[in-house]
Amino acid sequence: MSTSVDVLVRRLDPELPLPAYEHPGDAGADLVTAQDAEIAPGERVVLPTGIAIALPDGYAAFVHPRSGLAARCGVSLVNAPGTVDAGYRGEIKVVVVNHDLRTPVVFRRGDRIAQLVIQRVERAGFHEVAELPGSGRGEGGFGSTGGHAAVGVSSVGAAGSAGIVQHSASDREGL
Ligand SMILES: O=c1ccn([C@H]2C[C@H](O)[C@@H](COP(=O)(O)OP(=O)(O)OP(=O)(O)O)O2)c(=O)[nH]1
Ligand SMILES: [Mg+2]
């Protein structure tokens, strides 16, 4: 069985490299930035990669963060993973965010900023029904199985109120 799919790539910036896998077996091919950027703490920037691709039908490319940048610099992608549709012919761009609270991050043209994962994707036929079939989980979600590590810090409240929300006693059960 073939483990490789052919993807057509147009280099919009001839001096920059094609996406490349660093090691055999890597899932992600690194993408570079086509321009220099300095990103202040908490800021985001949309960086061009200098490439456009044509994926075969039935595939999509996903723009993922690089774990080294995340661990060392607090850099991630706002929309991780970004979705590149098979029909998209524009330049692939990367929406980079600096999550570090204090230190700006500097990228130079040619730096590897993200990685592209190519995957087969299904397209669904959406069929409206009045009732969904039953299941073991039912409507339980958002922590229904317990075992949360963080207590006392939560995200936006269920009613949409912003700020820090204390977990209720029932949330703590099962910790
Ligand atoms: O990280 C990303 C995400 C998307 N794209 C490109 C390819 C993708 O096919 C297109 C649209 O992306 P998406 O559907 O996520 O964005 P949207 O806000 O829904 O835009 P649109 O209305 O154009 O679909 O933008 C990128 O270059 N980088
Ligand atoms: Mg879209």
pLDDT digit string (tens) for the chain, length 175 residues: 557 999 999 999 999 999 999 999 999 999 999 999 999 999 999 999 999 999 999 999 999 999 999 999 999 999 999 999 999 999 999 999 999 999 999 999 999 999 999 999 999 999 999 999 999 999 999 999 998 776 555 555 444 444 454 545 444 443 3
pLDDT at 174: 37
65 vs 76: CA distance, rounded Å: 5
* CATH for the stretch 8-120: 2.70.40.10
Q: How far is the CA of 1 from the centre of ligand 2 (A)?
A: 32
Helix, strand or coil, per DSSP, at residue 68: helix
How far does the centroid of ligand 1 lie from the alpha carbon of residue 90, in Å? 10
Strand, coil or helix: what is 38? strand
Shortest-distance Cα residue to atom 13 of ligand 1: 83
| pLDDT at 167 (0 to 100) | 46
Ligand nearest to the CA of 97: 1
Query: Taking the model in full, what pTM does it have?
Result: 0.86
Query: In sequence order, what E strands does the chain have?
Result: 8-11, 28-32, 37-39, 44-48, 51-54, 59-64, 75-77, 82-84, 93-98, 105-107, 112-120
In the structure, which protein residues have their CB atom closer than 6 angstroms to any atom of ligand 1? 63, 79, 82-85, 88, 92-95
ipTM strictly over 0.95? Answer: yes
Note whether 102 and 57 are within 8 A (CB). no
Q: What is the largest CA-CA distance in the chain?
A: 59
At 7 the pLDDT is 98
